[in-house]
Amino acid sequence: MTDFASLVAADRGQDARTIIAVSQAQATQFVNALGEAGRAAVAAAGFSGKQDTGLFLPGGNGRDWSYAVGLGAQPAPGRWTLATAAAGLADGCYRLVDTAGAALPAGSSVHGWLMAQHRFARYRKSDDARGNRQLLLTDAGGIDAALAEAMAAAQIRDLVDTPAEDLGPGDLEAAVRALAESCAGRVTVVSGEALIEQNFPAIHAVGRASPRRPRIISLDWGDAGRPLVALVGKGVCFDTGGLNLKPGNSMALMKKDMGGAAHALALARLVIERRLPIRLKLVIAAVDNAVSGDAIRPGDVIATRKGLTIEIGNTDAEGRLVLADALALAGEAGPALTLDFATLTGAARVALGPDLPAMFTNDEALAGEFADAAIACEDPLWRLPLWQNYRSLFSSTIADLNNNAESGFAGAIVGALFLEHFVAAEVPWAHFDLFAWNSTARAGRPKGGAAMAIFAALKVIEGRFAR
Q: List residues with catalytic annotation.
A: 246, 320
Evaluate whether 20 touches 99 at the Cβ level (below 8 Å).
Answer: yes
DSSP assignment of 195-257: HHHTT-HHHHHHHTTSSS--EEEEEEES-TTSPEEEEEEEEEEEE--TTSPPPHHHHTTGGGG
Q: Are strands 92-97 and 358-361 parallel, antiparallel or unpaired?
A: unpaired
Amino acid at 392: S
* Helical ranges in 70-142 per DSSP H: 83-88, 110-115
Cα–Cα dist 340/338, whole Å: 7
Is residue 189 classed as helix, strand or coil in its secondary structure? strand
Evaluate whether 218 touches 186 at the Cβ level (below 8 Å).
Answer: no
DSSP assignment of 25-48: TTHHHHHHTS-HHHHHHHHHHT--
Q: Is the dihedral of CA 298, 304, 306, 307 positive or negative?
A: positive
Cα–Cα dist 197/216, whole Å: 13
Calculate the CA 219 to chain-centre distance.
Answer: 19
* Helical ranges in 333-382 per DSSP H: 346-352, 364-376
